[in-house]
Amino acid sequence: MDIKINDTQPGVTSIEYNVIGGVLDFYFFAGSNPLEVSREYAKIAGAPAEVPYWSFGLHQCRFGYQNFVDVAGVITNYSAAGIPLETMWTDIDYMDRRRVFTLDPDYFPLSRMREIVDHLHDNGQKYIVMVDPALGYFPNEGYAPVDRGIETDIFLKWPNGSVVIGVVWPGPSVWPDWFHPKVQDFWNGEFELFFNETEGLDIDGVWIDMNEPASFCNLPCTDPWEQSRERQFPPPRAFPPPDINTPIFVKATKKNKRSILDPPYAISDAAPNGDLSATTSPVNATHFNNLTEYDVHNLYGTMMSTSTHLAMLNRRPELRTLVITRSTFAGAGRHVGKWLGDNLSTWEQYRFSIAGMLGFTSIYQIPMVGSDICGFGDNTTETLCARWAMLGGFYPFMRNHNQDTSISQEFYRWPLVTQAAKNVLDMRYRLLDYIYTAFHTASLDGTPVLQPLFYRFPNDTNTFSIEHQFLYGSSILVSPVTEENSTSVTIYLPPEGRYYDFLTFAPVPESRTGNVTLTNVDFTKIPVHIVGGAVVPLRVEGAMITDELRKKDFEIVIAPDKNGVAHGKLYVDDGVSIGQSRQTFLTMEYGNGRLTITGEFGHPLNVKLKRIRILGVPKRPSGVNFGGQANLNTTKEVEYDGEKKVLNVELGTAFESAFSLQLL
């Protein structure tokens, strides 16, 4: 399908669809504003699933970790550098000859990989690996997954009934047919065997890739074995394996008459010679019930996503999981998150990641999304990686990942990047309950967790063309520096709003035009503002892992709008269970100098409400009444910063019941 947008005539925009098959259902959403349009779309495509609390932590990956010693070293170095690392990932390097559901016995032996996973779990951290759909086609050679697939007859076929064989990472490969009635049992079984909690690789989430599906077999793919040999799939290992006893951890933290292969209209898919089967499975491959790949190609990745999600639930039916995919279709957000594919370490790709992310969060209802931080291909630089680390802290899915031919780019590799990562992770973790609440709301009604600026200010036409600023949740405005070697950025703050610096809490002076130039934004900083009208729950400090973060006290920041009004919500549950027996869901309202917090304290927080900050207060009040108690007016309890116009009310009381606070 080609979708062409014609906006060459002033005031006129048209959209033209050019399709080569299938049935088109058009839905027209007539919401009164962009937010309502997104919510209406969610009613059709489905609202996104809730994700585990830990999934918002930092994820680290690389294509090119050579062996189990490499993986363990990265975990150790993050701990030594004092950079919070929540989840360690491994690309296809861990596989035996790049065959899914295998471990290389020399480079990634099961006993040492279980040691790594146990170390992570003992320290409250998580582990994720990649699983591709294509299975190396080596029947009767001891590769049990493909033998079981052949036995159950669940692989994609040619029209004549023979199995389709392409070329993927392991060499000659076959693909599961996600339409087959037995494929879910097959997929469940492979997950149960390989990812067995007591005897296998006990993962916490899964990363699925190459699921368009992708193929490296040049057309016509008549001899995938020869093409595999020519391209050295699977490639030989570049280094000898380590000694299996190498110490890795010190103590540390229907058919129609038509041309499927040559349709009458050639879409602009950038394939060689315009061939639809190039770099993927053949479009005339036949699925179960004689469905052709031509008709259902775009569903392949999402059907794998659904099956993988169900397979993970089958392992632990009571727990949420994290599945990250490359290929998606409408409705995929009910089961998976997405990374934006293989990007490059360039400033252009850094900037483009914002628009890519916003499309999936604000429109497509796939909010757990992010780009490979610092870039996947080519070599990053210290300054680019520092800026990208700061921006990546505001991706819903935050992962550093790059390929084996690029330089290593873990955040601890450069001093500037280390500091940038620490700074932004502290901000991210303090805001984690705020964005977790936004994800819960999205799961109920489809309200986007990230929004373009025009979503919040739909009547301000100046916001329509802004691509590099966005709202994290509904009230945190992120405005990254986007130009190389620059330490300044001009941002737009719509004049109808009121804004406060997130770090200092000082109000931003009003601008008639809305254009504000910020200078001296060094590479370890990112401009972040609270949009007036918000009550924002924060943890008082960050932590090294999210389990520890949940033990930190709360503070509440009130950022009134121009009318002196603000509101917010806080949702807390156990962070991992699918069915929640106890939930805390609070509504926070502020107006006329009075804060009221009401709701259900079903899930015990077991922490204190350390303080309440009220921003934009013109003068020190004569006193503060908290929950009917006597006035709080001592210097210890109430501090007023006249320069920043911030009133701090120190409480240190248990956060376990509704209350009110009144300025006097």
Active-site positions read 209, 212, 342
Q: How far apart are CA 398 and CA 57, in angstroms?
A: 7
Q: How far apart are CA 492 and CA 511, in angstroms?
A: 10
Helix/strand number for the chain, H first, E second: 14, 31
Contact 18, 8 (CB under 8 A): no
- b/e string for 225-263 if b means 16 or more Cβ within 10 A? eebbeeeebbeeeeeebbeeeeebbeeeeeeeeeebeeb
Quote the crossing angle between the two packed helices 382-392 and 415-430, to the nearest 10°: 0
For residue 378 the two structure tokens come to 């080519």
Query: Quick one: the chain helix, strand, coil %, rounded to 5?
Result: 25, 25, 50
Burial class (CB in 10 A: 0-12, 13-18, 19+), 199: exposed
Angle at CA 170, nearest 5°, toward 166 and 175?
Answer: 45
Give me the amino acid identity at 608: K
**Residue 536: in which H helix or E strand, if any?**
strand 534-539
Tokens 């949702």 map to which residue? Answer: 571
Angle at CA 445, nearest 5°, toward 300 and 452?
Answer: 80
| 284 phi, psi to nearest 5 deg | -95, 10
Other C-beta atoms lying within 10 Å of the C-beta of residue 548: 13
